[in-house]
């Protein structure tokens, strides 16, 4: 039977080859056309309909990576990536993920992998200080952080917890969820999945931030109709334009009506490593939960979303299930954190390892330096756009997203976005706001530097024709 498995010796040899392959990719990704040109079904058509009956040599497997997979890959790791938000990788994170795979830990309980749990507790506590979050959110205090797969999962966990808490006093059918019209749809989706029947999208102001007076009005109307305000999301950096809701004021409304206040900083959370951005999240002492994604801007491979609660008791109350085969002395004594009680999944990977390696390899200084450079590059681009008579900004740039349009209107804006992406040399996102198209340029890929943004500006300048 032994020869059916890859031996450690074979693994060592193939492992070197694969590391070389990844290093080559990192070296060359900048020169690739960012988006693939394949038609739907093209990759599938190159693959057999059935799994192989006989074992195949590793050479063949590696060959098909280049022949079949690579033509269908979108190069999110190109420094010319300006679309959506970044989904960054970095050397330390990739290597730590490899170790995590090698160790194959299941960190559902403290007892099933003490290191998996305790390294995670330490890095989420470190991040409380690095992001200027309330001290109470540390695992050594009443709150705590946990790594989840995505911001959508984190927001869903917050909604489930809020529903569980409110359902002790009110019928679930009466509970209402609020978020701004610009909030990420994960609040709406999470509310659906968690069984809320009422979701109100609140009007925004001219900077696309939630209008607190409109929130108050919506709450009053719901109360008058016999409904119960239960949950509100504040966005710190919306996905559309990185707008920032007034966190303290929303927190005050939430406090007045006993609502759960969740803060979604999925993208912008990384910027909070720099004190000069923290005024955007002033008022977190009034928040019940918070999410940010190191897998966006913090050089930590997907998946890694950090979810904090100010008080872990309601989360654990909502998520805990007991089973006899899971009982163990440490859990029974109540002296450890069992992270399976902090989210829907039971099994969990050792994701803290990559975050730990990133924080140690870059140091807080290193992360701040790259974030500040990305923000500087974005603001410089925003100034160029603002000064161009053909173009205009549609929203401020509090972080590293530039939102703009062509003054010629919807058609030239759409045309410019398409022309830029058609070059294959850059990639950005065409979106819509207030019914009109605009272009999002997100500066933040791990390796994006001045020369990449300069080249992007030259392309914009060249393609922003007026006809």
Residues that bind ligand PLP (CB under 6 A): 85, 150-152, 184, 186, 235, 237-239, 264, 266-267, 293, 305
User: Least distance in Å: CB of 64 to ligand PLP?
Assistant: 29
Strand, coil or helix: 403: strand
Q: Which H helix or E strand runs over 144?
A: strand 144-148
**Residue indicated by tokens 């799994």:** 51
Of 215 and 235, CB closest to ligand PLP: 235
Closer CB to ligand PLP, residue 186 or residue 249? 186
The CA distance from 385 to 118, in Å, is 47
Token readout for 71 is 């033509």
User: CB-wise, 264 or 338, nearer to ligand PLP?
Assistant: 264
Based on CB atoms, which residue is closest to ligand PLP, 270 or 331?
Answer: 270
List the beta strands (DSSP E) in 225-280.
228-235, 260-264
**In what helix (H) or strand (E) does residue 316 lie, and over which residues does it extend?**
helix 312-319
CB of 171 to ligand PLP, least distance (A): 29
Q: Of the candidates 457, 463, 456, 455, which has an alpha carbon nearest to the alpha carbon of residue 406?
A: 463
- Rounded least distance, CB 336 to ligand PLP, Å: 27
Output 137 or 267, the one with its CB closest to ligand PLP.
267
Q: Classify residue 268 by its DSSP letter.
A: G
Please name the residues in contact with 4: beta carbons below 8 A apart, sequence gap of 6 or more.
55
Comparison of 283 and 412: residue with beta carbon closer to ligand PLP: 283
Shortest Å distance, C-beta 236 to ligand PLP: 8
Task: Provide, rounded to whole angstroms, the least separation between the CB of residue 351 and ligand PLP.
Answer: 13
Min separation Cβ 3 and ligand PLP, Å: 42
Q: Which is nearer to ligand PLP, 157 or 259 (CB)?
A: 157
Residue number with CB closer to ligand PLP (157 or 253): 157
Residue 296 to residue 304: CA distance in whole angstroms: 9
When the beta carbons of 147 and 254 are compared against ligand PLP, the nearer one is: 147
CB of 180 to ligand PLP, least distance (A): 11
Q: How far is the CB of 437 from ligand PLP (least distance, A)?
A: 20
Minimum distance from residue 244 beta carbon to ligand PLP (Å): 11
Task: Count other Cβ atoms within 10 Å, centred on residue 247.
Answer: 24
Angle, nearest 10°, between helix axes 91-103 and 352-387? 150
Give one DSSP letter per residue of 4-16, joined into a string.
Answer: GSPPHHHHHHHHH
Provide long-range contacts, Cβ within 8 A and 24+ apart, for 438-441. 438/394, 438/403, 438/404, 438/405, 438/413, 439/403, 439/404, 439/405, 439/413, 440/82, 440/83, 440/84, 440/240, 440/241, 440/401, 440/402, 440/403, 441/82, 441/378, 441/381, 441/401, 441/402, 441/403, 441/404
Picking from 184, 149, 158, 183, the residue whose alpha carbon sits closest to that of residue 305 is: 149
Q: What is the 3-state secondary structure (H, E, C) of 45-76?
A: HCCCCCCCCCCCCHHHHHHHHHHHHHHHCCCC
Residue number with CB closer to ligand PLP (293 or 413): 293
Nearer to ligand PLP, 262 or 406 (CB): 262
Q: Report CA dihedral (123, 129, 134, 137) to the nearest 10 degrees.
A: 10
Residue 244 is given by DSSP the state: B
Min CB(225)–ligand PLP separation in Å: 29
User: Residue 444 in contact with residue 80, Cβ under 8 Å?
Assistant: no
The tokens 């195949």 sit on which residue? 56
Q: How far is the CB of 250 from ligand PLP (least distance, A)?
A: 15
């Amino acid at each position: 039977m032994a020869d059916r498995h890859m031996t450690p010796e074979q693994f060592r040899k193939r492992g070197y080859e694969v590391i070389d392959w990844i290093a080559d990719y990192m070296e060359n990704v900048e020169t690739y056309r960012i988006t693939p040109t394949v038609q739907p079904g093209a990759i599938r058509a190159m693959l057999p309909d059935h799994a192989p009956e006989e074992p195949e040599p590793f050479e063949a497997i590696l060959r098909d990576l280049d022949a079949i997979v690579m033509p269908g890959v979108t190069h999110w790791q190109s420094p010319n990536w300006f679309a959506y938000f970044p989904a960054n990788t970095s050397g330390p994170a990739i290597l730590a993920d490899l170790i995590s795979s090698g160790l194959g830990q299941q960190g559902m309980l403290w007892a099933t992998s003490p290191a998996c749990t305790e390294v995670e507790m330490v890095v989420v506590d470190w991040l409380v200080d690095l992001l200027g979050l309330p001290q109470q959110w540390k695992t050594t205090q009443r709150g705590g952080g946990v790594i989840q797969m995505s911001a959508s999962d984190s927001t869903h966990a917050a909604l489930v917890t809020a529903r569980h808490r409110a359902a002790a006093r009110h019928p679930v059918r009466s509970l209402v969820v609020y978020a701004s019209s610009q909030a990420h749809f994960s609040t709406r989706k999470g509310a659906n999945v968690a069984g809320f029947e009422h979701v109100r999208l609140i009007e925004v102001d001219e900077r696309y931030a939630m209008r607190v007076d409109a929130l108050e009005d919506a709450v009053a109307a719901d109360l008058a109709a016999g409904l119960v305000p239960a949950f509100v999301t504040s966005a710190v950096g919306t996905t559309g334009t990185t707008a920032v809701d007034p966190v303290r004021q929303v927190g005050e409304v939430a406090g007045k009506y006993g609502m759960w206040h969740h803060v979604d900083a999925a993208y912008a959370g990384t910027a909070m490593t720099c004190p000069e951005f923290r005024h955007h999240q002033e008022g977190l002492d009034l928040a019940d939960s918070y999410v940010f994604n190191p897998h966006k801007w913090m050089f930590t491979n997907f998946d890694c979303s950090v979810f904090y609660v100010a008080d872990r008791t309601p989360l654990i109350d909502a998520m805990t299930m007991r089973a006899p085969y899971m009982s163990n002395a440490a859990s029974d004594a109540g002296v450890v954190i069992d992270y399976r009680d902090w989210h829907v999944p039971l099994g969990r990977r050792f994701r803290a390892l990559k975050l730990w390696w990133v924080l140690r390899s870059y140091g807080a200084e290193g992360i701040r330096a790259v974030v500040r450079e990305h923000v500087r590059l974005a603001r410089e681009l925003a100034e160029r756009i603002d000064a161009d008579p053909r173009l205009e900004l549609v929203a401020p740039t509090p972080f590293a997203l530039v939102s703009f349009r062509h003054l010629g209107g919807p058609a030239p804006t759409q045309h410019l976005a398409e022309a830029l992406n058609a070059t294959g040399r850059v990639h950005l996102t065409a979106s819509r706001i207030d019914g009109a198209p605009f272009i999002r340029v997100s500066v933040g890929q791990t390796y994006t530097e001045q020369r990449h943004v300069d080249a992007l500006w030259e392309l914009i300048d060249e393609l922003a024709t007026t006809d």
